[in-house]
Amino acid sequence: DTARRNFAYDTEAIRAKDVAHHVHPWTDFADFEKTGSMVVAEAEGATIYDSEGQGYLDGIGGLWCVNLGYGRDEIAQAMADQARRMVYYSSFGHHTSVPAAELAAKVTGLAPAGLNHVLFGTGGSMANDTAIRIVHFYFNRLGKPRKKKIITRHDGYHGSTYLAMSLTGVAFDHQGFDLVGEELIARISAPNCYRRPAGTTEAEFLDLLAGEFEAKVLELGPETVAAFIAEPIMGAGGVVVAPAGYHRRIWELCRKYEILYIADEVVTAFGRLGHFFASEAVFGMQPDILTCAKGFSSAYAPLSGTLISDAFHEVISVPQAPGALFTHGFTYSGHPVCCAAGLKTIEIMEREDICGHVRRVGPYFERRLKSLSDLPLVGDVRGSHFMLCVENVADKETKALLPGEVQIGKRIAAAAQARGVLVRPIAHLNVLSPPLILTEAQIDRMVETLRDSILAVQDDLVREGHWRG
Ligand code: PLP
């Protein structure tokens, strides 16, 4: 299903314009300027095609977002119909659109108990910025202006606006940029089971993490701590699955100290873990605020949501003074075309039982990927359902990493790309977050290609003297 197609794109001309004028996000400009980018020209199902007509099985799902796969005419049609009917009107104040109202009702109906209200946006960073702004507004309204600090985790990823990147805990991502400081943000450890202290069991590790959280709250003073933000499974920070019971335990501590729990479900919502939302269905807790984006519209249009509880809404919806406004929101909050894409995405997910498919096929995917554990370079295979990764190491015993300059993740991704499969390199990891429609046969192909690629890179490393094997 990734056979070549005949296209008539002028790849060299496109690439030249791109290199000369397009500042790419998250790019190593040194090699970008030499090689330019792959021009992704067309796509269908789980396959993307470059402008030369070469097909690739997309193990990245665009960027953990094209959950329903490419080329869904129905979504394109719903967007086109809405654009013709009424492309845009602001949702500020007393205007709305049919799709914004319909989607608000639909998505809150699917969300964990009590999350009955949603503010729309156009991306995950915006959804998280919104969460923090309204948390501050909430405590101001409650007459607790000192309760402002946010506890976040090393290796958490929450986006790349100023505030969302300050919430982010991936040290690599902070290089060269400034952050909001300690007056607002406090950090605790990542719940990384693979790299937990030697000799501890998973249960002991959980006790350590919960203890660290509580100690941090007490050190800061509970009266200064507003919220805790966490992804149910860390994504860009390395597909980190916390020890069993972690989220529930931290959520209970949040309850104890009147701290709001913000679940960043930008990646995990809309089916990636087999449910529309993972917080309650998988992790047994009810966040006060839940943010989502990506799969919300299956990436057919920029769309995000910050969902809030009834109790929270009750506080922020009381006017501060006669005539005062709730001064938050964006031109494109509730954009009708984006909401139409969201509505159609959810309709298809329900009709095709995409969550059921992920619950059935996800464990197969996990098992198949785990079979790579026999390779000497593979230290850990982890994740859940359609959110998985392989951690490559120099030494399985010590878990030591290869030198950074080897760029192991990138090399393996390049080897897989040469074999027609895209996997995402993040430092020494290779991450898999494909469209949720993948069949078992496509999973087999992805895993076997990854195996061949790792073996080929292993041989190269030995030949180059980077690794003794
Ligand atoms: N939160 C999480 C968990 C993410 O993975 C991402 C993006 O990858 C974001 C937030 C930021 O989303 P966006 O890039 O749409 O702003």
For 27-46, the pLDDT digits (tens) are: 999 888 888 899 999 999 99
235 lines ligand 1 (CB under 6 A): yes
Q: Ligand 1: does its nearest atom lie under 6 Å from the Cβ of 296?
A: no
How many CA within 13 A on the CB side of residue 304? 25
Q: Is 272 in the pocket of ligand 1 (CB under 6 A)?
A: no
Mean pLDDT for the stretch of residues 135-157: 98
Averaged pLDDT for residues 279-287: 97
Cβ partners under 8 Å of residue 55, min gap 6: 1, 2, 3, 4, 5, 47, 48, 49, 420
pLDDT band for 312, please (50, 70, 90 cuts).
Answer: very high
Q: How far is CA 257 from CA 214, 252, 333, 383, in A?
A: 9, 9, 32, 31
pLDDT at 469 exceeding the cut of 80: no
- 468 pLDDT higher than 90: no
| pLDDT over 90 (residue 242) | yes
Find the 174 Cα to ligand 1 centroid distance in Å: 15
> Would the pTM of this model clear 0.95, i.e. be above it?
yes
User: What's the pLDDT at 32?
Assistant: 87
Residue whose pair of structure tokens reads 């959810």 in the numeric block: 346
Which of 125, 166, 386 is the best mutation target for the ligand 1 pocket, counting ligand atoms within 8 Å of the beta carbon and taking the most? Answer: 125
Do you know the residue count of the chain?
469
Q: Is the CB of 169 under 6 A from ligand 1?
A: no
Tokens standing for residue 467: 């690794």
Count of C-beta atoms within a 10 Å radius of residue 184 = 17
Share of the chain above pLDDT 70, in %: 100
pLDDT digits (tens, 9 = 90+) for 440-461: 999 999 999 999 999 999 999 9
Q: Is the pLDDT of residue 3 over 80?
A: no
> What number is the average pLDDT over the span 340-349?
99
Cα 304 to middle of ligand 1, angstroms: 10
Could you write out the three-class secondary structure of the chain?
Answer: CCCCCCCCCCHHHHHHHHHHHCCCCCCCHHHHHHHCCCCEEEEEECEEEECCCCEEEECCHHHHCCCCCECCHHHHHHHHHHHHHHCCCCCCCCCCCHHHHHHHHHHHHHCCCCCCEEEEECCHHHHHHHHHHHHHHHHHHCCCCCCCEEEEECCCCCCCCHHHHHHCCCHHHHCCCCCCCCCCEEEECCCCCCCCCCCCCHHHHHHHHHHHHHHHHHHHCHHHEEEEEECCCECCCCCECCCCCHHHHHHHHHHHCCCEEEEECCCCCCCCCCCCCHHHHCCCCCCCEEEECHHHCCCCCCCEEEEECHHHHHHHCCCCCCCCCCCCCCCCCCCHHHHHHHHHHHHHHHHCCHHHHHHHHHHHHHHHHHHHHHCCCEEEEEEECCEEEEEECCCCCCCCCCCHHHCHHHHHHHHHHHCCEECEEECCEEEECCCCCCCHHHHHHHHHHHHHHHHHHHHHHHHHCCCCC
Task: Tell me the β-bridge partners of 425.
Answer: 430
User: Quick one: tokens of 407?
Assistant: 């760029």
CATH architecture of 11-71+354-464: Alpha-Beta Complex (3.90)
Ligand 1: which atom is nearest the Cα of residue 235? 5
375-385: pLDDT as tens digits: 999 999 999 99
β-bridge partners, 262 = 229, 289
Rounded distance from Cα 411 to ligand 1 centre (Å): 25
Say if ligand 1 is within 6 A of residue 267 CB: yes
**Tell me, what's the pLDDT at 30?**
87
Q: Is 231 in the pocket of ligand 1 (CB under 6 A)?
A: yes
293 Cβ inside 6 Å of ligand 1? yes
| Nearest alpha-carbon partner for 406 in 344, 465, 321 | 465
From the CB of 159, is ligand 1 less than 6 Å away? yes
- Does the pLDDT of residue 194 top 90, yes or no? yes
Q: Which atom of ligand 1 is nearest to the CA of 159?
A: 11
- Report how far ligand 1's centroid is from the alpha carbon of 267 (Å): 7
Rounded to 10°, the helix 73-86/336-351 angle is 150
Q: Are 230 and 224 in contact (CB under 8 A)?
A: no
Question: How many angstroms separate the alpha carbon of residue 295 from the centre of ligand 1?
Answer: 11
Residue 112 banded pLDDT, cuts 50, 70, 90: very high
**pLDDT of 1 over the 70 cut:** no
User: Which atom, in ligand 1's list, is nearest to the CA of 123?
Assistant: 15
pLDDT in tens, 216-230: 999 999 999 999 999
Measured from the Cα of 126, ligand 1's closest atom is 16
Q: Does ligand 1 have an atom closer than 6 angstroms to the CB of 58?
A: no
- Write down the ipTM of this complex: 0.99
Report the pLDDT value the prediction gives residue 180, as an integer from 0 to 100.
95
| CB of 295 closer than 6 angstroms to any ligand 1 atom | no
Residue nearest to atom 1 of ligand 1 (CA): 158
Pocket test for ligand 1, best of 153, 173, 294 (most atoms within 8 A of CB): 294
Percent of the chain at pLDDT above 90? 95
| 362-404 pLDDT tens trace | 999 999 999 999 999 999 999 999 999 999 999 999 999 999 9
Above 90 in pLDDT, residue 341?
yes
For residue 355, name the pLDDT band (cuts at 50, 70, 90).
very high
Q: Determine the residue of 157, 163, 165, 270 to mutate for testing ligand 1's pocket, defined as the one with the most ligand atoms within 8 A of the Cβ atom.
A: 157
Cα 266 to averaged position of ligand 1 atoms, centre (Å): 6
pLDDT at 315: 96
> So where are the chain's domains?
11-71+354-464, 74-351
> Which residue lies with its CA nearest to atom 12 of ligand 1?
124
- Centroid of ligand 1 to alpha carbon of 285 (angstroms): 21
Q: Once rounded to an integer, what is the mean pLDDT over residues 235-248?
A: 98
pLDDT beyond 70 at 2: no
Q: What is the mean pLDDT of residues 242-251?
A: 98
CA 153 from centroid of its chain's CA atoms: 15
Domain 74-351 annotated CATH 3.40.640.10: yes
Going from the Cα of 159 to the center of ligand 1, the distance in angstroms, rounded, reads 5
Check if 125 has its Cβ closer than 6 Å to any atom of ligand 1: yes
CA-closest candidate to residue 304, choices 318, 290, 291, 314 = 291
What average pLDDT does this structure show over 398-423? 96
Write out pLDDT tens, residues 180-190.
Answer: 988 999 999 99
- Whether the per-residue pLDDT at 213 is higher than 90: the answer is yes
Buried/exposed 120-155: b ≥16 CB within 10 Å, e otherwise: bbbbbbbbbbbbbebbbbbbeeeeeeebbbbbbbbb
CA-128 nearest atom, ligand 1: 10
pLDDT for 7 equals 95
Whether residue 236 has its Cβ less than 6 Å from ligand 1: yes
pLDDT above 80: residue 328:
yes
pLDDT at site 35: 86
Band (243; pLDDT cuts 50, 70, 90): very high
